[in-house]
Amino acid sequence: MGRRPVKKFRREDDELKIQWLAIIAPKLFQEGFRQYSMDEIIQWVGVSKATFYKYFSSREMLIDEMLTLKLTEITAFKDILFEFGRPYAERYSAAMTLLEQALNPLSYKFLDDVQHTHPEQLTQIFQFIEFSLQWLEQFYVEGMRDHGLKQVNTKLLLMVDGAFLNALIMNPTKLKKTGFCVGEAVRHYFDLRAHSLRQIDKVGELKFS
């Protein structure tokens, strides 16, 4: 059985929900949601409970839709990686900048709340990580074939990348100890990864064509 595709957010059908999520999501991503009741959250968008529950029938559905919208935003990094008309290093830098900016609103508090109260919602995140690793593998292979990256085992690289990304999700308190937001942690990790894959020329300069 093949993997399910990443769920898309249908903007043409869900404009009102997107407007509400633009108000709700930043606060919950940053502060977590266990401390807020649904009544408090509904007050933020200024509609009746009956109206709100027509679109979000439960807290679980709200969290699910928040994650769907965020993952749809993050997916744009794939398109940047494979803009073949741009230099390889420039594609990498632009993709990492997008990831850092899109992921930074996610705090260890939100991830900890999801893990402890709605662990089933983590399925979306783990599925997205699987797809991201496939895209990264293609990017690594291109770099080793055409752009002077060190020739190393890509499967091993992906094992390490996957372990790092999964650790961010499953151990959010460890993220707190680093002092980084999710986006900052991901950017630092992949910058270290890029540095380790660059070749060193005869005069000691790093090459990343």
Q: How far apart are CA 33 and CA 163, in angstroms?
A: 26
> What would the pLDDT profile of 151-201 be if each residue is shown by its tens digit?
999 999 999 999 999 998 888 888 888 888 899 999 999 999 999 998 644
Look at the pTM and tell me if it is higher than 0.85.
no
Partners of residue 206 on adjacent β-strands: 200
**Residues 6 or more apart whose Cβ sits within 8 Å of residue 12:** none
- Residue 184, classified by CB atoms within 10 Å of its CB into exposed (0-12), middle (13-18) or buried (19+), is middle
Contact 9, 72 (CB under 8 A): yes
> Per-residue pLDDT tens for 44-77?
999 999 999 999 999 999 999 999 999 999 999 9
* DSSP assignment string, 64-96: HHHHHHHHHHHTHHHHHHT-TTS-HHHHHHHHH
Q: Residue 41's pLDDT band (boundaries 50, 70, 90)?
A: very high
